[in-house]
Amino acid sequence: MSSEHHAPIRATVEPVVAAAGLHLEECELKGQGATRTLQVLVDLPDGTEALGLDRVAAVAQEISDALDRDDPVPGPPYELEVSSPGATRTLETPRHWRRTVGHLVRIRTLEGERYTARLLEAHEDHAVVQRSHQPKKGMPVKLLDPERVDYASIRTARSEVEN
């Protein structure tokens, strides 16, 4: 979506999302012609609880009503898709990390190291994680000492679903 179209759409969607007590993660118009989709990603502003489907459905209806009223999307019709980041998400901002405290995260460092660890704390510039080690199959898992990981040293990170 070009920047001149992005601002009016976001100006319509963002206040609706904020009034619902949510955070607007992303708002993007994708596709062309009759196959356009306006994708809106919403999340809770903080805390570690999950965003329920009922709440997403309610804000989706409110967004739809506001878009119909303000009509900020030029051109042919489009489909509106409103969702939450889900159980696995890319961790790109300190807020993403804070929302994931207590869960498993998969980290790939700039040096190429890859590992999964439990996220214990999230701060503005770093996280504290705890890796585990299972010496041999069937042996008890050993928790390693918590360690600081600077966000600047991370290439990619994702929240993981637990087994």
pLDDT digits (tens, 9 = 90+) for 38-65: 999 999 999 888 899 999 999 999 999 9
Q: Residue 119 — very low, low, confident or very high, per pLDDT cuts 50/70/90?
A: very high
In the chain, the domains with their CATH numbers are: 4-86 (3.30.300.70), 90-160 (2.30.30.100)
* Eight-state DSSP code of residue 81: E
Rounded average pLDDT over 13-35: 93
Q: Residue 4 — very low, low, confident or very high, per pLDDT cuts 50/70/90?
A: low
Does 150 or 133 have the greater pLDDT score?
Answer: 150
Does the pLDDT value for residue 24 go beyond 60? yes
The reported pTM is: 0.81
CA dist., res. 9 & res. 2, Å (int):
11
Place of tokens 């590992």: 115
Q: Residue 163 — very low, low, confident or very high, per pLDDT cuts 50/70/90?
A: confident
CB 89 within 8 A of CB 25: no
Does the pLDDT value for residue 1 go beyond 70? no
CB 127 within 8 A of CB 119: yes
Q: Residue 147 — very low, low, confident or very high, per pLDDT cuts 50/70/90?
A: very high
CA dist., res. 93 & res. 123, Å (int):
10
